[in-house]
């Protein structure tokens, strides 16, 4: 074998070995990240389940509203839950149930990755919900879809907690102009019964 060919063959072999070592190292570094991600998701799920079923409170049927983006309406879904007697905790439970999603295959108002950062209730009955940035994602674009996502939350909270008269939204602790460029989020929202689909 000519010397030049031998040198070239050695260079190619070294490059291949280096590439294999790099890929194996990269895989080792990525695997813990995937494991951590799965662990975090499992922890979040367990936390949500615990929050949805507190030790106190009596089991009752609550009413949730989920978007039907095709029909432009909110669909009613009844669910058994031990709703807390503490209004702040009860609001969190309603939000967590909406984040968990419909049990009947309806649309989602909030992304499953949304985190509830804080909840407040003013003396005049305004619930202030502070959601993570993920609340601005994973819903269909358009003014009607924004409206359904917003009123899914508002109507669900107000239907189950009579002390709440309207809902105001914050994202990452800040007031935001819109969800996706359409509905003004700088004010408060009262329930909108006209969006609820009539059952026969």
Spatial CA neighbour of 112 closest among 92, 96, 93: 96
For 47, counting Cβ atoms within 10 Å of its Cβ (0-12 exposed, 13-18 middle, 19+ buried), the class is exposed
Q: How far apart are CA 60 and CA 172, in angstroms?
A: 32
pLDDT tens by residue, 168-184: 999 999 888 766 666 78
Coil, helix or strand at residue 60: strand
In this structure, are residues 115 and 45 in contact, taking their beta carbons and an 8 Å threshold? Answer: no
> DSSP assignment of 29-42, as one string?
HHHHHHHHHHHHHH
Taking each helix axis from N to C end, the angle separating 3-52 and 87-100, rounded to the nearest 10 degrees, works out to 140
Q: Which residues pair with 75 in a beta bridge?
A: 66
Q: How far apart are CA 194 and CA 177, in angstroms?
A: 24
The domain limits of the chain are 59-195
User: Once rounded to an integer, what is the mean pLDDT over residues 108-126?
Assistant: 94
What are the backbone dihedrals phi and psi of residue 100, each rounded to the nearest 5 degrees, phi first?
Answer: -60, -35
Residue 155 confidence (pLDDT): 98
Residue 76 confidence (pLDDT): 97
Residue 9 confidence (pLDDT): 60
Q: Which residue has the tokens 């209004």?
A: 87
Coil, helix or strand at residue 13: helix
151 pLDDT higher than 90: yes
> Is the overall model pTM greater than 0.85, yes or no?
no
Q: Which residues pair with 59 in a beta bridge?
A: 82
In this structure, are residues 122 and 160 in contact, taking their beta carbons and an 8 Å threshold? Answer: no
Provide the percentage of residues in the chain whose pLDDT is more than 90: 52
Q: How far apart are CA 153 and CA 167, in angstroms?
A: 8
pLDDT tens by residue, 62-91: 999 999 988 899 999 999 999 999 999 999
Provide the percentage of residues in the chain whose pLDDT is more than 70: 66
> DSSP assignment of 93-111, as one string?
HHHHHHHH--SSS---SS-
Of the pLDDT bands very low, low, confident and very high (cuts 50, 70, 90), residue 136 is confident
């Amino acid at each position: 074998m000519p010397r030049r060919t031998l040198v070239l063959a050695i260079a190619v072999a070294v490059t291949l070995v280096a590439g294999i070592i790099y890929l194996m190292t990269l895989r080792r570094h990525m695997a813990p990240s995937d494991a951590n991600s799965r662990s975090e998701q499992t922890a979040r799920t367990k936390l949500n389940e615990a929050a949805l079923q507190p030790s106190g409170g009596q089991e009752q049927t609550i009413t949730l509203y989920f978007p039907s983006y095709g029909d432009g309406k909110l669909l009613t879904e009844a669910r058994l839950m031990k709703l807390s007697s503490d209004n702040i905790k009860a609001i969190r439970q309603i939000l967590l149930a909406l984040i968990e999603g419909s049990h009947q295959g309806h649309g989602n108002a909030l992304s499953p990755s949304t985190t509830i950062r804080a909840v407040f209730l003013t003396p005049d009955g305004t619930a202030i919900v502070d959601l993570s940035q993920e609340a601005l994602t994973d819903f269909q674009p358009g003014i009607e879809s924004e409206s359904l996502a917003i009123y899914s939350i508002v109507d669900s909270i107000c239907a189950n907690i009579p002390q709440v008269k309207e809902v105001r939204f914050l994202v990452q602790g800040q007031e935001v102009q819109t969800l996706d460029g359409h509905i003004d989020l700088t004010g408060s929202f009262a329930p909108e019964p006209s969006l609820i689909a009539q059952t026969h």
